[in-house]
Structures are given as C-alpha cells and as structure tokens.
Amino acid sequence: MRIIGGTYRGRTLITVRDLSIRPTADRAKQTIFDMLATRCDLDGARVLDLFSGSGSLGLEAISRGAASVTFVERARTSIEVLEKNIRALDCTAQCTVHTADVFWFLKNVAQPYDVVFADPPYKLPEIGMLPVRMHESAAVRNGTWVVMEHSRESAMRFPENGYAVITKPFGQTTVLIMHAIKPSASE
C-alpha cells in the first residue's frame, strides 16, 4: 500500500498482517480523492479517520494538504502499525491517535471536522447505522464531507434529509460520499 498523491506520493505504508483487515485499494482510494477534489478543498482541512487501521486514508489526506488528522482505532496491532506509518512520514505534529471504540468516540467528541473517513469492518454488526451515528455526532457539522466504505450487501440507514449521497460501486465494495446537511441552531 502506498500514498498515491501529494507531498508523500509514492511512499510505502506498512499494513497489518491480519486477514480480517481490509485496506482501501489504491484504485478505490484514487477515486475517493478524485471525487473529493472536485467537491472540497483538503488544504488546511481537519480530518477524522474512523476505523483507521494503518492510516492509509488519513495519511493520504495529510499528503494532500490536510492540516490535521484524528485517527480512531481500537485494535492494538493496527495502532502500532499506524504509529509506525506516522513516524515514517514524519507527520506526528499533525496527527492525534485515539485507541477507542468508534461509536464511543462519536458520542463523546466535542469538535466538528471538515472531512470524515469511515472504513469499518464489513462484518461490523452496527455498520448499517454508522451514517446515522456519524450524523448525530458533534464530529459532523453542516457541510462536512463523509466518506464511507461498506460491503455492497450491507443495508445502510441514513437520517432523513441528513446527507446528499453519491454512491460509487467497486466490485464487492460500495463507497459513499456524503455531504452533511444539518440545520443551524437558529433554524
């Protein structure tokens, strides 16, 4: 796996040697970042990488100009690999790593992000509710871009009028690019 664009383009990332971990393929990652590039400016963005694994999506965002990335992962082996990748790219000042359950983090985070990546395990029992849980969280504000990968067999639930959704299939994977719609407190 490698960084495919930006400052760190071509740099190799190490991955977890675990068959239950499924890193985002370079082709899907390229499409995700191409689609984001026409919709939002990553330069200076605050990014949240949920189920971060080796950090491929968040580190790609840093390579493309994101100001900071918060990584959330609970698997110790993935955290170790993620921290090695961060050190290898020498971007520790831009990265915060939380060893936590993603659903707990979403309930307890207090600040919004510009872009949120979610690449959960496809067998995650609550995967279908993840778009709703992210939308309910303070991590997502009006205008946040949310990118989520899931198995094409997974049934997703969305909050009513909560996102403008673009769906992109990749074989057994579906990528959702969601633009959050949240009314302001004055409405």
Residue whose entry in the numeric block shows the structure tokens 């659903």: 103
Question: Which residues fall within 8 angstroms of residue 126, CB to CB, at 6 or more apart?
Answer: 103, 133
Question: Which amino acid is it at 97?
Answer: V
Residue 23, pLDDT > 80, answer: no
The residue segments making up the domain with residue 117 are 26-180
Residue 160 is part of a domain; what is its CATH number? Answer: 3.40.50.150
Contacts from 42-46 at CB under 8 Å and sequence distance 24+? 42/66, 42/115, 45/113, 45/114, 45/115, 46/70, 46/111, 46/112, 46/113, 46/114, 46/115
pLDDT by residue (tens digit) across 114-162? 999 999 988 888 888 999 999 999 999 999 999 999 888 888 889 888 9
In a domain, 31, yes or no: yes
* Average pLDDT for 12-26: 70
In a domain, 39, yes or no: yes
In a domain, 157, yes or no: yes
Q: Across the chain, how many H-helices and E-strands are there?
A: 5, 7
Task: Supply the pLDDT for residue 49.
Answer: 98
Task: Supply the pLDDT for residue 172.
Answer: 84
In a domain, 117, yes or no: yes
Most confident of 31-40, 56-65, 168-177: 56-65
Residue 19, pLDDT > 80, answer: no
Whole-model pTM: value is 0.92
125/162 Cα distance (integer angstroms) = 22
The total of structural domains in the chain comes to 1
pLDDT by residue (tens digit) across 68-92? 999 999 999 999 999 999 999 999 9
Question: Which amino acid is it at 34?
Answer: D
* Average pLDDT for 13-35: 75
In a domain, 18, yes or no: no
* Average pLDDT for 16-21: 60
* Average pLDDT for 93-113: 97
In a domain, 127, yes or no: yes
In a domain, 186, yes or no: no
Task: Supply the pLDDT for residue 25.
Answer: 67
In a domain, 129, yes or no: yes
